[in-house]
Amino acid sequence: MTTGARLSLFAGSIGALALALNHLTAGGSPANVSLGRADVVGSLMAVGLMLVGLNWTSVDPAAEKPLTLSGEQGLQLAEGLPAGVREELGWGSQMLLLNTAAVAVHCIWKQRLLLSRGLLTGVPYQEGPLVQRVLGSQRRLYLVNLKLFPARREFTYLPEGTPAVLLEPVGSQGLLVVAGASPRCFNSGDLGWVKGWTERLGLRLDEDERGGAAMP
């Protein structure tokens, strides 16, 4: 919670308490018009301040400070990929790393690692229960705070201490693993962009295989 949010909530709470005490100690005439008006105006101000404070406490991905994670910047592509697939993987992963809080991107297709880019650790990719869950359900899984999940051990190939991981299906046979630099770092715009790109990438991979350019 920011300092401004705390001050707003504190001021609103104090105002509401003061109004209640004033009303209880006014003593006497419940029909006092001035007192009634003061109660209404004061209540609106107190509630307004508290609502502003609560609004400021809502999660803002941009407000999270990115962590400094270990690893070496690199790009690894599987051998024998068609030129169109290489271009698509290179373009999309670069856009993710440049325009979002992503620090590492891994693309898997038919249990084969096609791309690793960003902060690389040298630890080989491994398929765990969370990856299998996404591949089986074909539904996105966004782990906003990885340390809360015991199954985080399957992500040892990501930089140590990675706070957030996005698992996005690629077509019906692939997966994109995106490591984030801070908890809740991917907003709705980022998630929408990733979904659009993975759908396009899945179509490209399917088309290349159907067209006789199947990957070895």
Provide the domain count of the chain.
2
- pLDDT for the residue 59: 47
102 and 50 assigned to the same domain: no
pLDDT tens by residue, 72-84:
999 999 999 999 9
Give yes or no: residues 151 and 196 share one domain. Answer: yes
> Are 26 and 128 contained in the same domain?
no
For residues 82 and 35, state if they share a domain: no
- Residue-wise pLDDT for 138-189, tens only, equals 999 999 988 888 778 899 999 988 999 999 999 889 999 999 999 999 999 9
Whether 138 and 40 share a structural domain: no
In CATH, what number is assigned to the domain containing residue 109?
3.30.450.40
In a domain, 101, yes or no: yes
Model confidence at 52: pLDDT above 80: no
Higher-scoring residue by pLDDT: 35, 211: 211
176 with 84, same domain: the answer is yes
Residue that terminates a domain, selected from 34, 58, 82: 58
Q: Which two tokens stand for residue 142?
A: 């966004």
Report the chain's C-alpha Rg in angstroms. 26
Q: Report the chain's mean pLDDT, rounded to a whole number.
A: 82
**Residue 9 within a domain:** yes
Residue-number span of the structural domain to which 49 is assigned:
3-58
Q: What percent of the chain has pLDDT over 70?
A: 69
Six-digit token pair at 191?
Answer: 């998630």
Alpha-carbon span 78 to 94, nearest angstrom:
17
The pLDDT value given to residue 1: 52
Query: Is residue 144 assigned to a domain?
Result: yes
215 found inside a domain? no
Confidence of residue 61 (pLDDT cuts 50, 70, 90): very low
- Give burial (CB, 10 Å; 0-12/13-18/19+) of 89: buried
Element (H, E) at 201: helix 188-210
At 99-146, the pLDDT tens digits run 999 999 999 999 999 999 999 999 999 899 999 999 999 999 999 988
pLDDT value of position 136: 92
Name the pTM for this structure: 0.69
Judge whether 51 lies within some domain. Answer: yes
62 has a pLDDT exceeding 50: no
Evaluate whether residue 63 is within a structural domain.
Answer: no
Distance from C-alpha of 55 to C-alpha of 140, rounded to nearest angstrom: 28
What pLDDT was estimated at residue 133? 92
Higher pLDDT, 96 or 60: 96
Residues 154 and 177 in one domain: yes
Co-location of 54 and 84 in the same domain: no
Q: Is the pLDDT of residue 200 over 50?
A: yes
Considering the domain boundaries, does residue 67 fall inside one? Answer: no
